[in-house]
């Protein structure tokens, strides 16, 4: 009789699950949807809209008031929607309970110069954002999504902050189509490989990698995490990503398979969590984030100061020491650059608390520069310098190019794959990997003939401005097909 015990156990799990979870869930769901009809009508009335033919697109963006690159993506998408789809109301799920709708809208105007129509936009304020504050534990975001859905269910849900685990809650409670704009994957295959090979890394401290037991535990956690992250992503109908780097990772996660966990998943009732009828994305599409290059693209291309400009926050991964070493090497190879005749200067904006400034005489640090100060350097510097390895995107490099600087960046990540790429078969800037390589690339850029110099700047600007424009961004959203997932009543 022993062989019978597994099916009996499984069967009991099923019964317990259905009785204690599935049936109550159905009741809860029916109640929620009934209440939602009232909420929805109220909302549309408050916005002065007739409730016929209106659609709600919900954007899950708990930090919508943060004013960073991710927020620019959010607001540009909503503004585009407002221009082209008068019958759509955008709903933003925000945890910024200390700001009002009007305050957020005016901050968006001040920060990004994006105009939002208050009649086509509303906010659902979430009070439990604290659960996602300093932990990547997925349950926090699922709880937050539950709060979101219990306050208002839209017709289409789009996560713009990378909380893929919320998809289970949304499809379970709301049963609506889901999409995502992903800036970076929550877990990467590199991370998984690192634990497997027990290498040291950012996310894996010494103590853990030296202990097999802890490492096994962590690997198991990652394995589950990875599996359910893939399951989550596949339950969305469309996925957009902001760069080639993110696309490579998301695509490989979408292909991820794990026979053991697959079997467990199907045997236990967990599969119900991921049975979205609107799934399932199989690959991600790149939609480059729009960069506001309007002002800088008007700066003159000629008559620039011999300034090498670095624009990066003071963080170890930006690798400021390599910039200083490369610059020192450049001055060593070309002593005339240090003198008064043809001086070349390195300017680092962003900040450095303990500069390793071996070449201090020609180096200037500008800490916490204001936006106008930064722009004034972009208007006069000659070369834009970025040394970060595997930068996912590199908006500073786009800004260099739009402003008319010749970019010199690390030969990896976004600057290699997406940004400093040939335009009409001709170079738009330079890549390097080592201190010597950077010194050479700087020298190449400094010693171009006047004609070549102008041609590189022109190409770099034309390319950056068109490739990372709002129009390209909007085309990308259109191409994602989000509209086809909006239900017609």
Ligand X SMILES: *[C@@H]1O[C@H](CO)[C@@H](O)[C@H](O)[C@H]1NC(C)=O
Binding residues vs ligand X (CB under 6 A): 69-70, 73, 84, 183-184, 242-243, 246, 289, 367-368, 392-393, 395, 471, 474-475, 478
CB of 303 to ligand X, least distance (A): 30
Q: Which is nearer to ligand X, 228 or 393 (CB)?
A: 393
Instruction: Dig out the tokens for 411 from the structure.
Output: 């030969």
Judged by CB, which is closer to ligand X: 101, or 392?
A: 392
Nearer to ligand X, 69 or 343 (CB): 69
Report the residue number, 289 or 404, with the smaller CB distance to ligand X.
289
Name the residue nearer to ligand X (CB basis): 72 or 459.
72
Smallest distance from the beta carbon of 408 to ligand X, in angstroms?
20
Q: How far is the CB of 183 from ligand X (least distance, A)?
A: 4
Residue nearest to ligand X (CB): 69
**What HEC string does the chain produce?**
CHHHHHHHHHHHHHHHHHHHHHHHHHHHHHHHHHHHHHHHHHHHHHCCCCCCCCEEEEEECCCCCCCCHHHHHHHHHHHHHHHHCCCEEEEEEECCCCCCHHHHHHHHHHHHCCCCCHHHEEEEECCCCHHHHCCCCHHHHHHHHHHHHHHCCCCEEEECCCCCCHHHHHHHHCCCCEEEEECCCCCCHHHHHHHHCCCCECCECHHHHCCHHHHHHHHHHHHHHHHHHHHHHHCCCEEEECCHHHHHHHHHHHCCCCHHHHHHHHHCHHHHHHCCCCCCCCCCEECCCCCCCCCHHHCCCCCCCCEEEEECCCCHHHCHHHHHHHHHHHHHHCHHHCCCCCCCEEEEEECCCCCCCCCHHHEEEEECCCHHHHHHHHHHCCEEEECCCCCCCCHHHHHHHHHCCEEEEECCHHHHHHHCCCECCECCCEEECCHHHHHHHHHHHHCCCHHHHHHHHHHHHHHHHHHCCHHHHHHHHHHHCHHHHCCCC
Measured from the CB atom, the residue of 429 and 476 that comes closer to ligand X is 476
Least spacing, CB of residue 197 vs ligand X, in Å:
23
Query: Shortest distance, CB of residue 244 to ligand X, whole angstroms?
Result: 11
By beta-carbon proximity to ligand X, the closer residue of 153 and 233 is 233
- Sheet arrangement for strand 345-350: 363-367, 345-350, 307-311, 383-386, 406-410, 430-432
Residue 367 beta carbon to ligand X: minimum distance, rounded to whole angstroms: 4
d(CA 383, CA 361): 19
Instruction: Output the smallest distance, CB 348 to ligand X, in A.
Output: 13
To the nearest whole angstrom, how small is the minimum distance from the Cβ of residue 162 to ligand X? 9
Nearer to ligand X, 276 or 387 (CB): 387
Residue 370 vs 449, nearer CB to ligand X: 370
**Smallest separation (angstroms) from ligand X to the CB of 290:** 8
Residue 314 CB, shortest distance to ligand X, in Å, is 9
Whose Cβ is closer to ligand X: residue 395's or residue 455's? 395
């Amino acid at each position: 009789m022993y062989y019978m015990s597994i099916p009996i156990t499984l069967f009991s799990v099923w019964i317990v699950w259905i009785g204690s979870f599935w049936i109550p869930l159905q009741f809860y769901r029916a109640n929620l949807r009934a209440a939602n009809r009232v909420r929805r009508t109220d909302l549309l009335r408050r916005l002065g809209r007739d409730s016929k033919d209106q659609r709600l697109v919900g954007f899950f963006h708990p930090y919508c008031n943060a004013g960073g690159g991710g927020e620019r993506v959010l607001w540009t998408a909503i503004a585009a929607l407002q221009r082209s789809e008068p019958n759509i109301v955008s709903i933003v799920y925000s945890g910024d309970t200390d700001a009002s709708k009007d305050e957020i809208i005016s901050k968006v105007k001040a920060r990004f110069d994006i105009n939002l129509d208050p009649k086509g936009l509303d906010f659902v304020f979430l009070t439990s954002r604290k659960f996602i504050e300093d932990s990547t534990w997925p349950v926090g975001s699922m709880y937050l999504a539950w709060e979101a859905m219990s306050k208002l269910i839209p017709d289409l849900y789009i996560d713009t902050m990378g909380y893929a685990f919320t998809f289970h809650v949304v499809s379970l409670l709301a049963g609506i189509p889901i999409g995502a704009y992903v800036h970076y994957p929550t877990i990467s295959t590199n991370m998984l490989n690192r634990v497997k090979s027990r290498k040291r890394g950012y996310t894996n401290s010494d103590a853990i990698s030296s202990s097999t037991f802890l490492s096994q535990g962590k690997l198991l956690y990652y394995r589950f995490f990875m599996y359910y992250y893939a399951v989550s992503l596949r339950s969305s109908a469309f996925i957009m990503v902001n760069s080639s780097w993110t696309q490579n990772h998301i695509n490989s996660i979408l292909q991820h398979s794990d026979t053991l966990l697959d079997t467990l998943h199907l045997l236990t009732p967990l599969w119900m969590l991921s049975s979205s009828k609107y799934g399932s994305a199989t690959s991600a599409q790149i939609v480059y984030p729009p960069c506001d290059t309007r002002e800088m693209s008007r700066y003159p291309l000629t008559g620039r100061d011999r300034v090498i400009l670095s624009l990066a926050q003071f963080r170890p991964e930006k690798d400021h020491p390599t910039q200083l070493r490369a610059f020192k090497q450049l001055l060593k190879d070309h002593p005339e650059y240090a003198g008064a005749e043809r001086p070349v200067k390195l300017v680092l904006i962003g900040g450095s608390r303990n500069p390793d400034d071996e070449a201090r005489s020609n180096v200037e640090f500008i800490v916490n520069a204001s936006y106008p100060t930064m722009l004034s350097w972009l208007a006069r510097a000659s070369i834009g310098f970025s040394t970060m390895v595997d930068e996912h995107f590199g908006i500073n490099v786009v800004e260099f190019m739009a402003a008319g600087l010749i970019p010199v960046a690390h030969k990896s990540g976004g600057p290699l794959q997406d940004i400093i790429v040939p335009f009409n078969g001709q170079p738009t800037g330079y890549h390097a990997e080592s201190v010597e390589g950077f010194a050479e690339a700087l020298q190449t850029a400094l010693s171009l003939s006047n004609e070549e110099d102008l041609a590189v700047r022109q190409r770099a600007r034309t390319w950056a401005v068109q490739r990372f424009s709002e129009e390209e961004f909007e085309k990308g959203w259109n191409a994602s097909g989000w509209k086809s997932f909006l239900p017609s009543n």
